[in-house]
Structure 1
Amino acid sequence: METQAAETPTKLFNKNFISITVINFIVYLVYYLLMVIIAVIAQDSLNATLSQAGLASGIYIIGTLLARLIMGKKLEIYGRKAVLRYGALFYLATTVAYLMMPTIAVMYIVRLLNGIAYGTVSTATNAIVTAYIPENKKGEGINYYGLSTSLAAAIGPFIGMILLNLTSFYVIIGFSIALILAITIACFAFPVRNIELTEEHREALMAKGLSSYIEKKALFITFIAFWMGLAYSTVLSFLSSYAKVIHLVDTASFFFVVYALVITATRPLSGRIFDDKGENYVMYPSYFFLAAGLLVLSVTHSSWVLLVAGALVGLGYGTFMSNGQAVCLKTCEPHRIGIALSTYFVGLDLGLGVGPYVFGILRDHISFQQMYLVAAILPVACAIVYALFYKKDDGKPYEIEEDVITSESAE
C-alpha cells in the first residue's frame, strides 16, 4: 500500500468531501427510517407492550453510545480506514438480521448490535470528513456536512412513515439492506486519510481513564446537546401518535419534508455566519427556534400550523446539530477529533434515546399538547445555561498540520 503526502483541500466541494457526505447521509437515513417504525412493528408483529416497544427503540441508542465511546478512543489507533470499512460490513450484517426476529427478545439483540454498527460507522465518517474541509471554511464545511445528517433526520422518518402505510416490514428492511450494501461498497472504494500518530499521541490514546474516552473540552456543548436531543425526541417518537389524535395524519408526513426544505435553504447561511461572526450568532437562534416550533406544535389545530411547526423545528434542531459539532472542532486537537466528536454525539444520541422513555411516562399523566409545552421549556433552559457558562473561543478552529495526516488509497 502506497502512502502519499496529504494535500490540504482548497475547494470545499471536492470529490472526497461530497462522497463521505453522501455516505454519511445514507448511514443516518437508515437509522432514522427504522427508528420511527420499530415500535409499531414490535407492537403489531411481536405483540409487545408499549413499554417493550419503547425499549426496542431505546436499546439501539445504548448500542450507539457504546460504539461511540469505544471508537472515539480507538478510531485513530485502529485507523479510520479499517473502522469505516469493517463497521459498514457489520452495519450490513445487522440490518439483514432484522429479517430474523421471531420474538421481542431477539429484536432487542438485533437492535443493540445494529446500534453498535451504526455508532461505529457514523463515528468514523464524522472524523474522516474533517480532513477534506479547507482550513478557512471549517464552519461552513461542517454545516454542509451536517446537512446530510439533518436531511436524513427529516427524510428518513418521512420515508419510514410512507412505507409503513403502503407496504410490509420486510419490504422496508429489504430497502434498507440495499442502501447499506451500496454504502458498504462505497466505503471500500473511498480513500481515507488516517492520522499519523506520534508515540506521545498513541500513548495518550492507549492510556486508561475517563479522559481517554471523553474530551473534556467538548463536555459543555455535549451537555447542551443532550437536552436539545431530549426536546427533539418528542417530535421523532410521538408525532405520528399526536397526528392521529388531532386528525392530521396525512399532513404529519410532510412535517419532515418542510423540516428538510428549511434546513437545506438555511444551512449554507448559518455556516458562513458561524465562520464570519462566531458561534453565538447561530447557537442562540437555534435554541429559540426549537422552543418556538415545539410551542406551535402544542397548539396545532390545522395542517398549515403543523407545517409551520416543522419549519421552526428545522431552524432550531437542524441548525443546532451541525453547529454544535463545529463548536467541538474549534477547540480540540487533531488527534482528539474522534474522541471529541464521539463525546458530542453521545450527548445528542443519549437525549434522543432517553427522551421517548421520559416523555412516554410523562404522557401517561398529561396530554400531548402539555407534553410539547414541557418540551419547549428545554431549549429555553439551554439558552440560559449557554449564556451563563459558555466561554466563547475567539481563536481559529483547529488546524491540521500537513505532516500529521496521510492519504491512503483503496487497495
Structure 2
Amino acid sequence: MQSQESSSRLWTKPFLILTLSTLLLFLNLQMLLAAFPAYVKSAFQADDLTVSLIISVFAGSTIITRLLTAQLMRIVRRNVILYAGLAAACLFTVMSVAAGSVGMLLVMRVGFGIGFGMASTIIPTLVSQIIPGKRMGEGIGYFGLSTSLAMSVGPIIGLSVMKHAGFTILAMLGTATILLIFPILLLSRAIPPDTSKKTAPAAGSASKQLFHAKLLIPGLLNVILAVTYGGLLSFIALFGESVHLEQVGLFFLFNAIAVIIIRPVSGKLFDRFGHAAVLIPAAISVVSALMVLSYTTTMPMLILSALLYGLGFGSIQPTLQAWMLRSGTPQHYGMANSMFYNTTDLGIAVGALILGAVSSMSDYAFMYRISAGFMVLFLILYIVVRLLSAVRYKFKQSAGQTT
C-alpha cells in the first residue's frame, strides 16, 4: 500500500529540484534573448539581417543538438550529458562578452545553442522518468510552469539590466543563473538512476519507427501553435507602436498569469478525459485571442487577448508534450522531449518569417488574422485525425467480430 502511494506521488524532491533547474536554465535564455538584438545593433552596428542570423544560428544549433542528444543518451550517461551541456552553456554565456566581431559572436551563439540543447533535452527526460504514468499530463503541466515563468520574467529582467547596467553585467547575471544549477543538483542528488538501457525493447528498430509515426501529428500541431507564438514574440512591440499602445508589453504579463492558472487544470483534464477535451476548446481560445488582438486599440482589449491566448496556449503545449510522452515507453522519453522542443523552436522561426512577410505586404492587424487562420488549420487537422482514428477503430472492431 505504501509503495503504491509513493509511486503515485508527484511532488517529490527530484521533481521540485529539476523543475527549479529548468527555470534557471530558461531564465538565462530569455534574459539574453530579449537583449541580444539591441546589443548586436549597438555594439557592431549590425543590420536586421545580421541580427536575424545570430538568432537563427542559435536556434539551428539547438535543434540539431537535441536530435543528436536523443541518440547520444543510448551510449552516454544522462548526468554526464547534462553537466557537459550546462558547462558549455555557462562558458559560452560568459565568453560572449569578449566577442570582438560578429563572426566570433556567431561562434559563441552556436556553442551556447549546443550546451542549451543538451541540457534542455536531458532535464525534461529525467522529469518524465519520475512523473507517475497516470499523472503525466498533470506533472508536465506543473513542470511547464518553469519555462512559462522564465518566458514572462526573463525578458523584463534582461531588458531592464541591459538598459541600466549594460550587456556585460547581464551576461554575468546569466552566467550566475546557470552556475547556481550545479550545487542545486549535486547537493540534492535529484537526478534519478538511468534505467533506460535495462528496459530497452527487443525489437528496437520497429519500435522506433512506430514511435516516430506516433509523434508526427502532435509534433505538427505543436509547430502550428508555435507559429502563432513566433508572430507574437517578433511583432507585438511593433504592433503596439502602430496602434499607439505604450504598455503593449503587458500582453506577456497577463498571458503568463493565464498560463500559470490553466496549466495544472489542463493537465488534470488530459489525464482524466484525454487530449480532445483540452485541445479543441483551447484552440478556439487561441483563435479568439488572435482575432481580438487584430482589432485591439485599447488596453482592456489587449488584456482580454492576452488572457485568452494564455488560457489556450497554456493548455495546448503541456497536452501535446504529454501526448508525445504517452506515445512511447520510458526509453523513448528523450526522443519525445527532443521532438517537442524542436517543433516549438521550428514553429517560432517559421512563424516569424511567414508572418513577417505578411506584415510587410499589409499590416500587423491583418497579420494576426492570418495567425488566427493557422489555429483554424490546427483545429481542422486535429478533428480530421480524430474522425479518421474513430473510423479506423470501428473498422477494426467490425473486422474482429466477423472473424
Tell me whether the two structures share a fold, i.e. TM-score over 0.5.
Answer: yes
Contact 1:85–1:187 under 8 Å retained in 2: no
Residue 240 of structure 1: aligned partner: 237
**Other-structure match for 2:265:** 269
Q: Amino acid of the residue matched to residue 123 of structure 1?
A: T
- The answer as to 2:173 corresponding to 1:169 is no
Q: Is the 8 A contact 1:259 1:313 kept in 2?
A: yes
Instruction: Tell me if 1:141 matches 2:139.
Output: yes
**AA paired with 1:352?**
I
Higher deviation after alignment, 281-290 or 13-22:
281-290
1:285 deviates by 2.2
- 1:6-405 alignment runs, 5 A limit: 9-189=7-187, 190-198=189-197, 201=200, 215-249=212-246, 251-390=247-386
What is the alpha-carbon distance in structure 1 between the residues aligned to residue 94 and residue 209 of structure 2?
33
Say whether the 8 Å CA contact 2:13–2:190 is kept in structure 1.
no
Q: Deviations over 1:97-133 (max 9, x none)?
A: 2212222222222212211211110100110002222
Query: What RMSD in Å do the two structures reach over aligned CA positions?
Result: 2.8
> What amino acid sits opposite 1:47 in the alignment?
Q
Q: Distance in 1 between matches of 2:98 and 2:237?
A: 26
What stretches of structure 1 move > 6 A for 4+ residues in a row?
Answer: 202-205, 391-394
How far apart, in 2, do the equivalents of 1:107 and 1:307 lie? 37
State percent identity of aligned pairs: 26
Q: Distance in 1 between matches of 2:119 and 2:210?
A: 17
Per-residue CA deviations over 1:24-80 (Å, capped at 9, x if unaligned) read 112122222222222222222211111211122222110110111001122243122
The C-alpha deviation readout for 1:214-249, integer Å capped at 9, x for no partner, is 833212111111111111111112222322333323
Aligned partners of 1:195 and 1:109: how far apart in 2? 33
Flag the 1:100–1:356 CA change in 2: closer, same or farther, 3 A: farther
Contact 2:211 2:327 in 1 (8 A): no
Q: Give the partner amino acid of 2:11.
A: F
Corresponding residue SS for 1:69: helix
The verdict on how the C-alpha distance between 1:253 and 1:68 changes in structure 2, with shifts beyond 3 A counting, is same
Q: Deviations over 1:361-388 (max 9, x none)?
A: 3332221112111111111111110111
Look up the match of 1:404.
none
Q: Secondary structure, in 3 states, of the residue corresponding to 2:315? A: helix
Cα distance 1:320–1:161, how it changes in 2: closer, same or farther (>3 A)? Answer: farther
Local SS of the residue matching 1:215 = helix
Contact 1:263 1:318 in 2 (8 A): yes
> Is the 1:98–1:110 contact (alpha carbons within 8 Å) kept by the matching residues of 2?
yes
Say if 1:198 and 1:35 are closer, same or farther in 2 by CA, change over 3 A.
closer
Counterpart CA distance in 2 for 1:50 and 1:154 is: 24
Choose between structure 1 and 2 for higher RCO, CA contacts under 8 A separated by at least 6 residues.
Answer: 1
Q: AA paired with 1:241?
A: L
Change (3 A) 1:212 1:152: farther
Greater radius of gyration (CA): 2
Distance 2:230 2:240 in 1: 15
Q: Deviations for 1:316-344, whole angstroms, at most 9, x for unmatched residues? A: 22222211100011211111111122122
CA distance in 2, matches of 1:158, 1:381: 32
Alignment check: 8 A CA contact 1:76 1:335 kept: no
Structure 1 residue 140, shift from structure 2 partner = 0.7
The answer on whether the counterparts of 1:292 and 1:312 sit within 8 Å (CA) in structure 2 is yes
1:139–1:326 contact (8 Å) kept in structure 2: yes
- Cα separation, 2, equivalents of 1:60 and 1:392: 38
Deviates more, 1:123-132 or 1:149-158: 149-158
What is the Cα deviation at residue 210 of structure 1? 12
Structure 1 residue 155, shift from structure 2 partner: 2.1
Q: Would the alpha carbon gap of residues 269 and 191 (structure 1) be closer, same or farther in structure 2, given more than 3 Å must change?
A: closer
Number of residues paired by the alignment? 387
Question: How big is the shift at 1:390?
Answer: 4.4
> What secondary structure sits across from 1:77 in the alignment?
coil
Gaps of 5+ in 2: 391-403
Structure 1 residues 53 and 212, CA gap change in structure 2 (3 angstroms): farther
Amino acid corresponding to residue 385 of structure 2 in structure 1: F
After superposition, the Cα gap between the structure-2 partners of 1:22 and 1:393, relative to the gap in structure 1 and judged at 3 Å, is farther
Q: Runs of 5+ in structure 1 lacking a partner? A: 1-6, 395-411
CA distance in 2, matches of 1:354, 1:74: 27
TM-score (norm. length: structure 2): 0.88
Conserved? CA contact 2:27–2:177, under 8 Å = no
Q: Structure 1 length normalisation: TM-score?
A: 0.86
